[in-house]
Structure 1
Amino acid sequence: MLRLTRRPPRSTAQTVLIPKKETAMPRQVYFTTAGGPEVLHLDEVPFNNPGAGEARIRVDAIGVNRADQMFREGRYFYPPNFPSTLGYEAAGVVEAIGPGVTEVAVGDSVAVLPAFKLTDYGTYGDYVVVPAAALVPRAADSDPVTAAAIWMAYVAAYGALVEGDPVAKGDHVLLTAATGGVGLAAIQVANRIGAVPIATTRTPAKKQRLLDAGAAHVIVTSEEDLGQRVQEITGGQGVTTAMDPVGGPGIVEVIKTVSPGGRLLVYGILDPRNDMSQGLPTVEGIEVSLYTLFGVTGDPDRRQRAIDFVTAGLTDGAFTPVVDSTFDFTAYAQAHQHMESGQQFGKIVLTVQH
């Protein structure tokens, strides 16, 4: 049995309410060295009782993200502490709450949004403890697979396009490698605020799917010149905002599509050729910066604005999470292999059987 030691041991006296005695040990995915999907293992762990400000949930579905891959590989913007679990997203039911928790109650159906570090918490388990502030209520009859596919993607897109320095109506937005969860959510967010989403993909087969998903224009980078096509689409103006999850040498071409006074937000460094020790390129008149959603989820007021914005879009049908595939919880390695293949269109979700 694995005993994860990322957080201090908990006393049962800390727990305000535990509704029942559990008969089976929880399972959690963990890794003890950085590497590929093969470093991930599943083992039983002790039940953690939630401390102050925390809740324990019975997990029904888990969102799989590129951040999980990079953290597992040791290429994330902070390193893992071994043994380490992983996972930012999940959907489930609250089973216990710690002292001072008012956001949720035992029995609530909830989703987890990324509002913590993976060195402190993780969602790859069938019972997990997370900060109560990271839980979003959901309808009891809502689909847990869909609920587990929402918050990373839509809050990341909201933070980039709406919060702080909002994209204006009519602005062109470039979304590179747009077939991932964040790219597809950003297409929908751009459309909701009246911007014009330009999506890119390396694969011609995905062009029509991106158009069907709401992209106003799609550039197939294996067949078309990115800069030339952006100039044609924007009438020579360029885009005001570009979002790129890849980095690497291709970032130079992405920068060229941005209009003076515009910005490039790098929200991932998936290209293994990235050398962040050299920093990001600097271009006069253009903002080039690393972007994470934690500036939104780490601030209570911004987090609530994001929740309200995303909830409104889900309610009126403007936002429809795209789920590529589901894997059983025990097939976590296969899910990561599928993610690394680059074949997916939308989110990958693990489902948990109880």
Structure 2
Amino acid sequence: MNRAVRFHQTGGPEVLRLEEVPLPVPGPGEVLIRTRALGLNRAESMFRLGQYGTDPVFPSGVGYEAAGVVEALGDGVSGVGVGDAVSVVPAFSMTEYPVHGEAVLAPAHAVVVHPERLSFEEAASVWMQFITAYGGLVDLAGVRAGDTVLISAASSSVGLAAIQIARRAGARPVALTRTGAKRQRLLDAGADEVIATAEEDVAARVRELTSGEGARIVFDPVGGPALADLIDSAAHEATIVLYGLLDRTPTPLDVGTVLFKHLTIRGFELFEITTDDRRRAEAVGYVRDGLATGELTPTIDTVFPLERIADAHRALEAGGQVGKIVVTVPGDASV
């Protein structure tokens, strides 16, 4: 039996099904992985809802992140071998390589032998969050020691990764979260300060924390009306990296502030990094080094069994998590 997570129409988590499918056969440049854990991201939720940049083709698979054991190799694959413990870097379309299932194909360039210290659950929680944060903060914004970095949706897996990467650079991560309920957990995760956006004046608080200068980097997946506060909070010549659209409400833009502050507002998505061979290699190397030293550590909030995949999606969309939601796949986890 080989089961895959599939859906036959767009909609809520209830459209997801575990369906028996033939065991895939790896073609040239492909790797067959017997999965042990799957990582969930907002991208899967948006794809399932029909709100992603790529439309599903029915019946559709889903999933960007998985970790498991290599079961077979296609022609021309090097760098990994049968029996290796590996994880998958999102460097492909879900319409081509959906990886949420028991035995899945992935392109060889997206398969990484992960550090031995990671469990399968941790390995399935690494690449989307850390490469997204690396791309926005390091590759684009050039984060450096002394920078104040505003991190919206800071309790998300990417937000927590951004806190760690900012600290690794010697910068000052300031976590933004809607209420104070997660304040202590964010401080424990490494945030220098926490601002509850529904309870505090964001721009005034940032000015207070930076002696009036503002933040040099803003890292935001939300957009919407709250972006106005982030622009007000930005320093002269700051970089604002927008990597998501959680709030689809029209976004007001004070062009005068952008103009006279000399701000850079940059849209960014992970695939800028992962579909470029050089930038992907640099990102993977950066993350692997950080994982090996312990400076970068994935945070797992909740683990669900594969049979409860719909519940896992419901938990993701409820937004109460701090860190990653992971789905485990039955099987012997030994390598």
TM-score by length of 1: 0.89
Distance 1:335 1:171 in 2: 36
| Number of residue pairs aligned between Structure 1 and Structure 2 | 327
Distance 1:315 1:321 in 2: 12
Hey, what does 2:277 align to over in structure 1? 300
Distance 1:326 1:245 in 2: 24
Hey, what does 1:27 align to over in structure 2? 3
Post-superposition CA distance 1:98-131 (Å, at most 9, x none) = 1111121111110111111112111110100011
Distance 1:264 1:116 in 2: 26
State yes or no: 1:261 paired with 2:202. Answer: no
Hey, what does 1:311 align to over in structure 2? 288
Distance 1:265 1:39 in 2: 33
Distance 2:69 2:246 in 1: 33
Alignment of structure 1 residues 85-234 onto 2, 5 Å = 85-139=61-115, 142-234=118-210
Q: Which deviates more, 155-164 or 127-136? A: 155-164
* Structure 2: stretches of 5+ with no match in the other structure: none
Q: Kindly state the Cα deviation for residue 151 of structure 1 after the two structures are TM-superposed.
A: 0.9
Hey, what does 1:325 align to over in structure 2? 302
Structure 2 counterpart SS, 1:249: helix
Given residue 287 of structure 1, which amino acid in structure 2 is its aligned partner? T
Contact conserved, 1:173 with 1:240, CA < 8 A, in 2?
Answer: yes
Structure 1 counterpart SS, 2:244: coil
Distance 1:59 1:143 in 2: 12
Given residue 243 of structure 1, which amino acid in structure 2 is its aligned partner? F
Residues 1:207 and 1:165: Cα distance change in structure 2 (over 3 Å): closer
- Find 1:345's aligned residue among 319, 322, 326: 322
State yes or no: 1:64 paired with 2:34. Answer: no
Hey, what does 1:11 align to over in structure 2? none
TM-score by length of 2: 0.93
Contact conserved, 2:173 with 2:192, CA < 8 A, in 1?
Answer: yes
- Find 2:216's aligned residue among 236, 240, 245: 240
Structure 1 counterpart SS, 2:106: strand
Post-superposition CA distance 1:70-90 (Å, at most 9, x none) = 111111222222221111111
Given residue 230 of structure 2, which amino acid in structure 1 is its aligned partner? V
Contact conserved, 1:177 with 1:246, CA < 8 A, in 2?
Answer: yes
Contact conserved, 2:115 with 2:292, CA < 8 A, in 1?
Answer: no
Given residue 317 of structure 1, which amino acid in structure 2 is its aligned partner? G
Distance 1:73 1:169 in 2: 40
- Find 2:263's aligned residue among 286, 302, 305: 286
Q: Kindly state the Cα deviation for residue 142 of structure 1 after the two structures are TM-superposed.
A: 3.8
Structure 1 counterpart SS, 2:76: coil
Distance 1:259 1:79 in 2: 38
Structure 2 counterpart SS, 1:61: strand
Contact conserved, 1:70 with 1:270, CA < 8 A, in 2?
Answer: no
Given residue 8 of structure 2, which amino acid in structure 1 is its aligned partner? T
Contact conserved, 1:184 with 1:346, CA < 8 A, in 2?
Answer: yes
Q: Which deviates more, 106-115 or 131-140? A: 131-140
Root mean square deviation, CA, Å: 1.7
Structure 1 counterpart SS, 2:225: coil
Given residue 147 of structure 1, which amino acid in structure 2 is its aligned partner? A
Given residue 345 of structure 1, which amino acid in structure 2 is its aligned partner? V
Given residue 151 of structure 1, which amino acid in structure 2 is its aligned partner? W
Contact conserved, 1:60 with 1:353, CA < 8 A, in 2?
Answer: yes
Distance 1:307 1:174 in 2: 24
Residues 1:305 and 1:182: Cα distance change in structure 2 (over 3 Å): same
Post-superposition CA distance 1:183-218 (Å, at most 9, x none) = 000000000011110101112120011011000110
